[in-house]
């Protein structure tokens, strides 16, 4: 396996932990998962670093200057490159704002910005699948995340409604 793929899989696995930790913590009420959820900022930094290394090693391995990101043919969403580019573009603001200074500066908007994580996750999953990733490693975790996230959303919604009554 090429070195860039190791970084890609490290980013994907870290991203899976990030997006699954919150809904699983809400549903299961297990302290270990709650502790992981509290470390999402650090996991996000690790994930972002892995993505950057993936792109740099990819560019070096295939002798492509980083200017390929500015080529319009790269942004074709019928190919894996468009989805990878979307994942990269959504990851950059997440990485840049994963610090206490950004939280203080952006206030409520920081949480809104962090919702880009879901777009980053979906674009990454599609990118990996289109590169040749097995559906079991990409589409299935995305489906599991969707079910768990919706379940946790409605559970939290019903809890909020009971508090309001």
**pLDDT tens profile 135-163:** 888 999 999 999 999 999 998 877 766 66
Q: What is the 3-state secondary structure (H, E, C) of the chain?
A: CCHHHHHHHHHHHHHHHHHHHHHHHHHHCCHHHHHHHHCHHHHHHHHHHHHHHHHHHHHHHCCCCHHHHHCHHHHCCCCHHHHHHHHHHHHHHHHHCCCHHHHHHHCHHHHHHHCHHHHHHHHHHHHHHHHCCCHHHHHHHHHHHHHHHHHHHHHHHHHHHHHHC
Residue 4 above 70 pLDDT? yes
The pLDDT tens digits of the residues spanning 103-146 come to 999 999 999 999 999 999 999 999 999 998 788 889 999 999 99
- Domain coordinates in residue numbering, the chain: 3-148
The structure's pTM equals: 0.88
Q: 11-34: per-residue pLDDT in tens? A: 999 999 999 998 998 888 888 888
């Amino acid at each position: 396996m090429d070195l860039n793929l190791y970084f890609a899989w490290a980013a994907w696995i870290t991203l899976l932990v990030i997006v699954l930790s919150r809904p699983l913590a809400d549903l299961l009420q297990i302290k270990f998962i709650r502790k992981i959820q509290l470390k999402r900022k650090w996991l996000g930094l690790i994930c972002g670093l892995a993505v950057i290394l993936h792109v740099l090693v990819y560019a070096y391995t295939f002798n492509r200057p980083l200017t390929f990101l500015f080529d319009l043919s790269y942004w074709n969403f019928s190919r894996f490159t468009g989805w990878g580019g979307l994942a990269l573009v959504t990851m950059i603001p997440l990485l840049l704002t994963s610090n206490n200074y950004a939280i203080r500066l952006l206030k409520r908007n920081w949480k809104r910005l962090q919702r880009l994580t879901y777009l980053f996750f979906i674009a990454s999953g599609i990118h990996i699948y289109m590169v040749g990733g097995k559906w079991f490693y990409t589409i299935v975790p995305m489906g599991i995340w969707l079910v768990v996230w919706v379940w946790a959303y409605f559970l939290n919604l019903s809890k909020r409604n009971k508090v309001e009554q």
